[in-house]
Chain A
Amino acid sequence: MSTTDYAVRPAPQAVRPVPQVIAHEVIKPRQTKRWLDWILTTDHKRIGIMYLVTTFVFFMLGGVEALLMRSQLAVPNNSLVTAEHYNELLTLHGTTMIFLFVVPVMAGFGNYFVPLMIGARDMAFPRLNALSYWLLLLGGIVFYATLFYHPPEAGWWSYPPLSSIQFSPSGGQDAWIFLIHLTGISSLLGAINFYATIVNMRAPGMSWGRLPLFVWTVLVYAILLIIALPVVAAAVTMLLTDRHFGTHFFDPTSHGSPVLWQHLFWFFGHPEVYIMILPGFGIISEVIPVFSRKPIFGYKAIAAATVAIAFLATLVWAHHMFVSPVPIVVLGFFMLSSFLIGIPTGVKIFNWIATLWRGSIVMSTALYFAVGFIAVFTIGGITGIFLATFPVDWQLNDTYFVVAHFHYVLMGGAVFSIFAGIYYWYPKITGRLMNETVGKASFWLMFIGFNMAFFVQHALGLSGMPRRIYTYQPGLGWSTYNLISTIGSFIFALGILVTIYNVARSLKVGALAGPDPWKGNTLEWFTTSPPPVNNFDAIPRVRSVEPMRDIRRQIERQTGVTQKTGGSEQFARV
């Protein structure tokens, strides 16, 4: 702590609030029971925390399911679980990770940080916001209650006729439909809320060209949800009436079409992928400039790429159906549209690397995860080109190559960006810093474990292993890869546990963060950590994409002390 003295009076602590900004509790905390406060809350920050905690519980459950599947596949002819349970596990795992973890965890970050980043005092509709959260929780409970009778086993796509009443007679499939409805309404209400908040409640001066990139991605996330969710809601309702009320939308024996389901499901399913990854892109676009001590390279290009990805995301769904009965012309169209979406995605990656270029990079754990994200997401993007080429997809579709691809995109992409977000924003949420050494250990375990678990899966797919098989015979050239993959998955899981330990322990012993431990660029760092209920006493006028940097400069001018960039000296260590 040698250089940065913004405050007028000498600060007594090792970690000083930089700059010193004042925000107070204006509402006295009510003297009720604490748990009741959480249940009744409409505060976006508390709802955000509940989202984050709940989705992480589901992440753990989905992770345990994944580890059970990997253990079953570790050696050939294994019978750790039964074939029936294996199909239940894969359905639970996929559904949980998508509907109960990645999509809502982004809503969690969005809830907490969108109002703070745009200088608002809450979301536009606080009660609706609470309803969104409780519907999500209910969806999860309805779904996991099937553990006590009969979990669904038709996979997270639930292709009919396998998901029809004839082949999946159990109520588990209906619980799956109910989950889609509950989490769907939750996300839809949340999306409307985000949209209304971002459009109407930005700080004075925060024009569209000054909107933080994370907020841009949440805006586009909300729009995509509003476009995609009604379609899957219709599809699962049709499935429900097929199952119980005598309709035949998807029943081939009565001139229904199983391919219709595929179109409806993937019209939702592919935008869903971008719904999951775009806010992750947003987190990366916040973390990298802060720790490079540089403005984001090509702000407009990144914002435009976000919108372009969203537009194209609604035009690529049938690349999931290259092996279905679909005419060649259609295959060609969807190959081209899928190629096109690679361009804005590539532009983002180039812009992030250009932001690091000639920066003065502070190697924080958040930056580790952000760089790890770019490294693995690039691999996922490149393998996507193979899959988009439809004749090549005829070999790769429904194999472990695809499993590897979408885990590189969603685990390497979304999960690494979520972890970058956790390490970046934890000080704001809790007021304390996480342990950096433990964080980096967690990163390396996750990075090595992840690549070990999933890189060999490309080879598994190329050597002919289909996805979703319960076990396999020895001598097919799959055994070694599977064993490596299983070991890797446990290393990855260990890495996640280390971060959970870090989160829990830092709550008690982490160094006090102060309002702005990273020298952030955006308005959430303007208020105290954690912020008071009203967020801000005064909302500053925004003059650029980096209002906090402007504020720091102004303080420098007023106090006559120059700010040095490029040091990590402001990181307090435990």
Chain B
Amino acid sequence: MGPHHAKLRRRRVGAAVALVLAISLMLAPSALANFFTPKSGGSPNANAIDSLYKLILYVAAFVFVVVEGALFYSVYKFRAKKGAAAAQIHGNTRLEIGWTVAAGVILVVLTVITFVKLPSIIDPPNSSSNGLVLSASLTAPTPPNGKKLTICIQGRQFIWRYAYGNGCQDNAFSLKLPYSYQEMVVPANTTVVLVIQSIDVIHSWWVPSLGGKVDAVPGYTTYTWFKAPHAGALYHGQCAQLCGREHYAMTALVKVVTPAQYTEWLQQQSSAITAANAQVTQLRQILTANGNL
């Protein structure tokens, strides 16, 4: 096989690769925004993670282009040819120290950027003036003015349960706090602190647009927060830790409404729960009276 054939074949392979790439890109017009960056836009912490991710992405893209470029250039340029001899180089101490230090410097820069960004990811801001009116309480994490809406999340096979209001992690039942399953309703522009627990296996709370995920580990309480600016938005999330056969079905929805709608919804939910409880109590009395319970 002559060099001409080899070149032709190389070109053909190149064309095939380009074609595959082009088809892949054409097939993927949906959500191209999320091709290179994580979801964001639902909460300041998700946005902060997104911007930190992008900074790393720029550095990564640079490293990628340099390394892959050098690799493919060497393979292309230094193929065995008639008369060409390989340079018998054993190493170059200065060069080697140079790239070790360069790699170190890049990582120091990334570390600094991360710790600079970190507070905006882990510390919740105050609720906006157009958010829900709140009183202060004293559990972590807390915005500077101490005012937050606490929602307790309980993971269980295979659904999320939410109890609304301060004190939910201690005595949700005696306080008769309203609760809901799977779909969480939250007021817009309000700092919502989530208190996350599990009653059976490990689950992981994750709504990508509202920030990072947090494991719900039985025996532990974990926390996160979000502050959703857009009333009317509906965010999709899903349990991220394998929790059993119906792990795939353990989804979560977060519905953002105006503070007024939220208050109204809470009352509706409370009265619906009270009504259902009354019904069950009545049924229990009847069953007990008939000797069926």
Residues of A bordering B, CB below 8 Å: 83-84, 87, 90, 153-155, 159, 161-162, 167, 252-253, 255-259, 292-295, 297-301, 323-325, 328, 332, 335-336, 339-340, 342-343, 346-347, 349-351, 353-354, 356-363, 371, 374-375, 378-379, 382-383, 385-386, 389-399, 444, 448, 452, 456, 459, 462-464, 466-472, 476-477, 480-481, 483-484, 565-568
CA distance A295 to B89 in the complex (A): 7
Contact (Cβ within 8 A) B96 A566: no
Question: In the assembled complex, how far is the CB of residue B9 from the closest CB belonging to chain A, in whole angstroms?
Answer: 9
Residues of A within 8 A of B173 (CB): none
Contact (Cβ within 8 A) A353 B28: no
Contact (Cβ within 8 A) A323 B214: yes
Contact (Cβ within 8 A) B89 A335: no
Which interface residue of A153, A297, A383 has the most chain B CB atoms within 10 A? A297
B84: contacting residue among A154, A155, A472, A566, CB under 8 A: A566
B136 within 8 A of A: no
Question: In the assembled complex, how far is the CB of residue B141 from the closest CB belonging to chain A, in whole angstroms?
Answer: 11
Residue in chain B with minimal CB distance to A294: B86
CA distance A428 to B36 in the complex (A): 44
Give me 17 A-to-B residue pairs in the complex whose CB atoms sit less than 8 angstroms apart, sorted by A's number. A162-B202, A294-B89, A298-B91, A323-B215, A324-B215, A335-B114, A356-B74, A362-B80, A378-B71, A386-B53, A391-B117, A395-B46, A398-B241, A462-B35, A464-B238, A470-B245, A566-B81
A484: contacting residue among B13, B27, B63, B71, CB under 8 A: B27
Residue in chain B with minimal CB distance to A259: B217
Question: In the assembled complex, how far is the CB of residue B277 from the closest CB belonging to chain A, in whole angstroms?
Answer: 28
Q: How many A-B residue pairs have CB under 8 A?
A: 281
A259: contacting residue among B72, B206, B212, B220, CB under 8 A: B220
1/0 contact string of B202-217 vs chain A (CB within 8 Å): 1010101001111101
Number of interface residues of B (CB under 8 A): 92
B107 within 8 A of A: yes
CA distance A343 to B245 in the complex (A): 40
Contact (Cβ within 8 A) B60 A386: yes
Known: A292-B86, A389-B52, A477-B30. Contact between A470 and B247, CB under 8 A? Answer: yes
Question: In the assembled complex, how far is the CB of residue B284 from the closest CB belonging to chain A, in whole angstroms?
Answer: 28
Question: In the assembled complex, how far is the CB of residue A444 from the closest CB belonging to chain B, in whole angstroms?
Answer: 6
Question: In the assembled complex, how far is the CB of residue A368 from the closest CB belonging to chain B, in whole angstroms?
Answer: 9
Question: In the assembled complex, how far is the CB of residue A214 from the closest CB belonging to chain B, in whole angstroms?
Answer: 18
Known: A358-B86, A566-B84. Contact between A343 and B100, CB under 8 A? Answer: yes
A361: contacting residue among B49, B79, B111, CB under 8 A: B79
Residues of B within 8 A of A383 (CB): 60
Question: In the assembled complex, how far is the CB of residue B140 from the closest CB belonging to chain A, in whole angstroms?
Answer: 11
Within 8 A of A (CB), among B225-252: 236-248
Within 8 A of A (CB), among B13-32: 13, 16-17, 20, 24, 27-28, 30-31
Question: In the assembled complex, how far is the CB of residue A401 from the closest CB belonging to chain B, in whole angstroms?
Answer: 8
Contact (Cβ within 8 A) B87 A294: yes
Residues of B within 8 A of A346 (CB): 99-100, 103
CA distance A362 to B82 in the complex (A): 12
B218 within 8 A of A: yes
A-B pairs with the 4 shortest C-beta distances? A394-B212, A252-B219, A477-B31, A463-B34
Contact (Cβ within 8 A) A161 B200: yes
CA distance A253 to B200 in the complex (A): 9
Contact (Cβ within 8 A) B244 A299: no
B4 within 8 A of A: no
1/0 contact string of B156-186 vs chain A (CB within 8 Å): 0000000000000000000000000000000
Question: In the assembled complex, how far is the CB of residue B229 from the closest CB belonging to chain A, in whole angstroms?
Answer: 19
Which interface residue of B53, B91, B221, B237 has the most chain A CB atoms within 10 A? B91
Within 8 A of A (CB), among B44-92: 46, 48-49, 52-53, 56-57, 59-60, 63-64, 67-68, 70-72, 74-75, 78-82, 84-92
Question: In the assembled complex, how far is the CB of residue A520 from the closest CB belonging to chain B, in whole angstroms?
Answer: 15
Residues of B within 8 A of A476 (CB): 236
B282 within 8 A of A: no
Known: A161-B201, A360-B85, A397-B213. Contact between A466 and B34, CB under 8 A? Answer: no
Residues of B within 8 A of A342 (CB): 103, 107
Residues of A within 8 A of B122 (CB): 328, 391
Contact (Cβ within 8 A) A161 B202: yes
Question: In the assembled complex, how far is the CB of residue B285 from the closest CB belonging to chain A, in whole angstroms?
Answer: 33
Residues of B within 8 A of A448 (CB): 16-17, 20
B266 within 8 A of A: no
Contact (Cβ within 8 A) B86 A398: no
CA distance A351 to B215 in the complex (A): 40
Residue in chain A with minimal CB distance to B90: A295
Residues of A within 8 A of B208 (CB): 395, 463-464
B38 within 8 A of A: yes
Contact (Cβ within 8 A) A159 B17: no
CA distance A19 to B246 in the complex (A): 63
Contact (Cβ within 8 A) A456 B24: yes
Residue in chain B with minimal CB distance to A473: B251
B104 within 8 A of A: yes
Known: A257-B219, A361-B79, A361-B80. Contact between A399 and B240, CB under 8 A? Answer: yes
A162: contacting residue among B88, B117, B243, CB under 8 A: B243
B267 within 8 A of A: no
CA distance A259 to B238 in the complex (A): 22
CA distance A322 to B38 in the complex (A): 17
Contact (Cβ within 8 A) A343 B75: no
CA distance A350 to B144 in the complex (A): 48
Contact (Cβ within 8 A) B86 A83: no
Residue in chain B with minimal CB distance to A374: B71
- New contact pairs (15) apart from A299-B90, A325-B220, CB-CB < 8 Å: A87-B247, A162-B242, A253-B218, A294-B89, A297-B92, A298-B90, A335-B114, A350-B96, A359-B87, A360-B81, A360-B85, A371-B75, A375-B72, A391-B48, A463-B34
Residues of B within 8 A of A155 (CB): 242
B75: contacting residue among A252, A295, A361, A464, CB under 8 A: A361
Residues of B within 8 A of A470 (CB): 245, 247-248
B118 within 8 A of A: yes
Contact (Cβ within 8 A) B20 A452: yes
Question: In the assembled complex, how far is the CB of residue A484 from the closest CB belonging to chain B, in whole angstroms?
Answer: 6
CA distance A398 to B64 in the complex (A): 24
Contact (Cβ within 8 A) B217 A324: yes
Contact (Cβ within 8 A) A347 B53: no
Residue in chain B with minimal CB distance to A163: B201
Residues of A within 8 A of B88 (CB): 294-295
Residue in chain B with minimal CB distance to A83: B245
Contact (Cβ within 8 A) A356 B222: no
A471: contacting residue among B59, B82, B100, B248, CB under 8 A: B248
Known: A394-B212, A462-B34. Contact between A358 and B200, CB under 8 A? Answer: no
Contact (Cβ within 8 A) A353 B37: no
CA distance A556 to B178 in the complex (A): 89
Residue in chain B with minimal CB distance to A566: B80
Residues of B within 8 A of A459 (CB): 28, 31, 34-36
Contact (Cβ within 8 A) A391 B37: no
Contact (Cβ within 8 A) A395 B80: no
Known: A167-B201, A391-B117. Contact between A472 and B217, CB under 8 A? Answer: no
Contact (Cβ within 8 A) B246 A378: no
Contact (Cβ within 8 A) B60 A363: no
Known: A360-B78, A392-B52. Contact between A462 and B36, CB under 8 A? Answer: yes
Contact (Cβ within 8 A) A481 B28: yes
Known: A385-B110, A397-B240, A480-B30. Contact between A360 and B84, CB under 8 A? Answer: yes
Known: A252-B218, A398-B240. Contact between A349 and B86, CB under 8 A? Answer: no
Known: A323-B214, A394-B211. Contact between A565 and B89, CB under 8 A? Answer: no
Contact (Cβ within 8 A) A347 B99: yes
